[in-house]
A and B are shown apart, each in its own frame.
Chain A
Amino acid sequence: MLSDELKRITGHELEERQPLKHRLHVCMGTGCISAGSDRVKTALETELRVMNLDGTYAVTTGGCRGLCAAGPLVAIDGDTNIAQRVTTENVPELVQRMTDLPDSLRLPTEMPFFRNQKKVVLEYSGNLDPNRIDDYITAGGYTALNHALTEMTPAQTVDEIMRSGLRGRGGAGYPTGLKWQTVAKAHGERKFVICNGDEGDPGAFMDRSVMEDYPFKVLEGVTIAGYAIGAQQGYLYVRAEYPLAVKRLKSAIRQAEKIGLLGSNIGGTPFSFNIDVRLGAGAFVCGEETALIASIEGKRGHPRPRPPYPAARGLWGCPTLINNVETFSSIAPIIRQGADWFAGIGTEKSKGTKVFALSGRVNYTGLIEVPMGTTLREIVFEIGGGIPDGRQFKAIQTGGPSGGCIPAEFLDTPVDYESLAALGSIMGSGGMIVMDDTSCMVDVARYFMEFCKTESCGKCAPCRIGTAQMHDLLTIITAGQATLEDLERLEKLCDMVRSTSLCGLGQSAPNPVISTLRYFRHEYVSHIVDHHCPAGVCSALSQPQEAAE
């Protein structure tokens, strides 16, 4: 039986840990590795061996703790005793004063950055070794799958997700339970589950971190979904630019197969399910579900008109469930702790928590998870610690190239799908870029339009040509060569591209322009009429008017 097997593994793991005095989790996320955490880990191991402590102290690979700005991070035993900015030089000091870290090393874990978060998707907050399934099982992993397989029918599983109020974390916020129900009810002998890990928004790294740190949790969520909708095969579509995530997911699949948590008759039940990894080749548009399906089928990653939706005709014409990495990572906690618990977090229409990648002009950059309904002000000024160098907050960009810029007067807006949409932005997948008064909003719009122009697949005329035309217009505005007629032309193009494009990429490509025009129109006018860039960013116009004259 599955539950016995899980207990046996947990027992064995705890026995192994018995003689250990301390466990040191060295963060091995992409952020900390780039700050040298792999060298720190080797140095720690050597130091402990030299001091003959390697039998009582264990150095393990840990996951991301969110505060990438303070990396590399080494956690001693848990969430409260963490060493920050560890280098190979201060490893001996760390080992000497492990339980009483000097101020130079100690990370103040009581700061709002940690205190004000609520972790559901990131629930193990870096304390698991992502390379070992035993670690995940010991922390309570796979009990949700066991519960679903042995005590719930597929219909009850769908109902549980439905009642939790979970909505798609990829950006659009479609009710997850409803999607599951549609695919479960669709006719078809073969059905598929696809996990969308093609995260590509500039400034977004939530899914990367989740896949790198909790690969087993993603697998568990996808497997539960497979059981609920009646699929036998799942695919993880991961962009090839995330090699560490790919490596860990592949290793996780092998480990899960080895102990019968994937494959035929999972845990001795009649349910059989396999998962394979498919790599994206670097096209942003492949995050769009129909383009993603085409890509898995081995075709050019082009979107196609919907309906039919993938729920009816998806991968190889079969009913297909596509959810985002973060959505699937919310499944196990919901099954484990119940729909009511999840529905108790968040706002009326947006339940649960959301992971954000906080970046830009803010003191503490990194990965955060907050309950839905947290205000933007709390995120920027409490968790994020405010704007550095005494500068003024100007806007926060959410939703990447499909989203918009929200100005200071709306900082008290609660973060939920409807409120952000009402402001002309979107929740998106969770990128949040904070901008201060050194950012030119026209230049920001131009940057995102350049991204959309480069990433447009070229299939439909409005997006292919429209993004190029809009980018050209924004470029001449930032160069001070535009007229007010050009601005009018730009607005018309925005409306047309939004209304007529084939897929979400084109339909939302004008959003950064529309939202900056809504809140920062004066900056556009200033560029055009006064030939002046108020933020001093646009180099052609960097001289103030007076000085130029």
Chain B
Amino acid sequence: MNSNVVTLSINGKEVSGRDDETILELALENGIQIPRLCYLEGLSIVGACRLCMVEVLGAKGLIAACATRITEGMVVQTDSERLAEYRRSILEMLFAEGFHVCSVCVANGHCELQTQAAHAGIDHIDLPYLYPRRKVDASHRLFGLDANRCILCTRCVRVCSEIEGARTWSVSGRGIEAHIISDFATPWGESTTCTSCGKCVQVCPTGALFMKGASTAELEKRTDFLSWITAMREQR
């Protein structure tokens, strides 16, 4: 498909890009960071975490930067007091939704939720904790799933279906009851589709998916393999 080059402004800075790029992609190219959790380069866009909401001049409401393509003359503001407050609020809600106790988590220090919270200046949670009763699945030989740390970004679902092609993970249930399942809600260890490739563990932004044997704060995750795979596929 042909694409045109367009010029627009992000945070007052004039930038240009192809019109098939999203606001988030162009911002990152130009060294402008926008908070995000469900977005991961190389995976499809879902626009679910709503952290990357930005203000666009003339738009009816806020716009998800990851899911919106740039247009000529667009005036984008990625930071404002209002946006900062909404982002803090969404992050607080994510903390209050599950059990996020950093001090005993394998991902402590390498957790994207923790990093975003630190950036947003969150030092306490104002909302009541929901204390859900969620399961831990340790049936897999190499990996584990602690659903209490899951923020439903669905990166694991997407990487498994789009990159590995196994489609082991999917979402079950609605609303606050929604959760990740492997196969037809069978234990991960008994999954007949899982190839044990571990991509889901690597892309998980929190400690929800983890490698067995890793202790508190030991689990560093790598997501850079995704861009290599995507690049190789596009070349072919």
Contact = CB atoms under 8 A, between A and B. Distances in A.
Do A and B interact with each other, yes or no? Answer: yes
Interface of A: 283, 300, 304-305, 307, 453-469, 472, 489, 492-493, 496, 499-502, 507
18 contacts: A283-B174, A300-B171, A453-B175, A456-B175, A457-B174, A458-B175, A458-B176, A458-B178, A461-B48, A464-B176, A465-B93, A465-B96, A465-B130, A466-B93, A468-B130, A469-B96, A499-B61, A499-B62
Given A300-B171, A460-B48, A501-B50, A468 B176 contact: yes
Given A464-B176, A469-B93, A492-B89, A459 B62 contact: no
B174 A454 contact: yes
A467 B64 CA distance: 20
Contact of B50 (A300, A455, A469, A500): A500
B122 interface: no
A469 B175 CA distance: 12
B176 A456 contact: yes
B24 interface: no
Interface in B145-201: 151-152, 170-171, 173-178
A493 B89 contact: yes
Given A458-B171, A469-B127, A496-B90, A453 B176 contact: yes
A305 B127 CA distance: 27
A461 B86 CA distance: 12
B46 interface: yes
The interface centre, meaning the residue of B61, B86, B94, B174 with most chain A CB atoms within 10 A of its CB, is B174
B176 A465 contact: yes
B68 A305 contact: yes
Contact of B175 (A304, A462, A468, A493): A468
A283 B175 CA distance: 11
Contacts of A496: 85-86, 89-90
A462 B90 contact: yes
Given A305-B67, A499-B62, A500-B62, A458 B89 contact: no
Given A305-B68, A460-B50, A464-B176, 19 more contacts: A300-B170, A300-B171, A304-B46, A453-B176, A455-B175, A456-B176, A457-B174, A458-B173, A458-B178, A459-B46, A459-B152, A460-B48, A465-B96, A468-B175, A489-B126, A489-B127, A499-B62, A499-B86, A507-B61
Interface in B58-109: 61-62, 64, 67-69, 85-86, 89-90, 93-94, 96-97
Nearest to A493: B89
B57 interface: no
A499 B64 CA distance: 11
Contacts of B89: 492-493, 496
Contacts of A454: 174-175
B175 A464 contact: yes
B229 interface: no
B35 interface: no
A304 B47 contact: yes
A283 B178 CA distance: 13
B12 interface: no
Interface of B: 45-50, 53, 61-62, 64, 67-69, 85-86, 89-90, 93-94, 96-97, 126-128, 130, 151-152, 170-171, 173-178
B50 A462 contact: yes
Given A496-B90, A500-B53, A458 B174 contact: yes
A467 B177 CA distance: 12
B50 A502 contact: yes
List 10 A-B pairs, minimum CB-CB distance, nearest first: A458-B178, A456-B175, A305-B67, A305-B47, A465-B93, A468-B176, A500-B50, A496-B89, A465-B97, A458-B175
B176 A459 contact: no
A298 B85 CA distance: 38
Contacts of A283: 174
A305 B174 contact: no
Interface core residue of A304, A496, A501 (most chain B CB under 10 Å): A496
Given A500-B50, A500-B53, A502-B50, A458 B90 contact: no
B93 A461 contact: yes
Nearest to B170: A300
A500 B90 contact: yes
A493 B173 CA distance: 23
A452 to B, nearest CB: 8
A460 B49 CA distance: 6
A489 B178 CA distance: 24
B178 A464 contact: yes
B175 A461 contact: no
Contacts of A499: 53, 61-62, 86
A268 B37 CA distance: 56
B90 A457 contact: no
Contacts of A466: 93
Contacts of A307: 68-69
A461 B49 contact: yes
Nearest to B47: A305
Contact of A462 (B93, B126, B130, B173): B93
Contact of B178 (A457, A493, A500): A457
Contact of A461 (B50, B85, B174): B50
A300 B178 CA distance: 12
B94 A465 contact: yes
Contacts of B127: 469, 489
Between B45, B93, B178, the greatest number of chain A beta carbons within 10 A of the residue's beta carbon is seen for: B93
Contacts of B64: 305, 502
A300 to B, nearest CB: 7
Contacts of A304: 46-47
A307 B89 CA distance: 25
- Which among A304, A456, A464 has the greatest number of chain B C-beta atoms within 10 A? A464
A469 B174 CA distance: 15
Contacts of B68: 305, 307
Contacts of B48: 459-461, 502
A502 B171 CA distance: 17
A294 to B, nearest CB: 12
A305 B96 contact: no
Contacts of B45: 305
Contact of A460 (B47, B69, B171): B47
A457 B178 CA distance: 8
Contacts of A457: 174-175, 178
A465 B127 CA distance: 11
Contacts of B96: 465, 469
A456 B128 contact: no
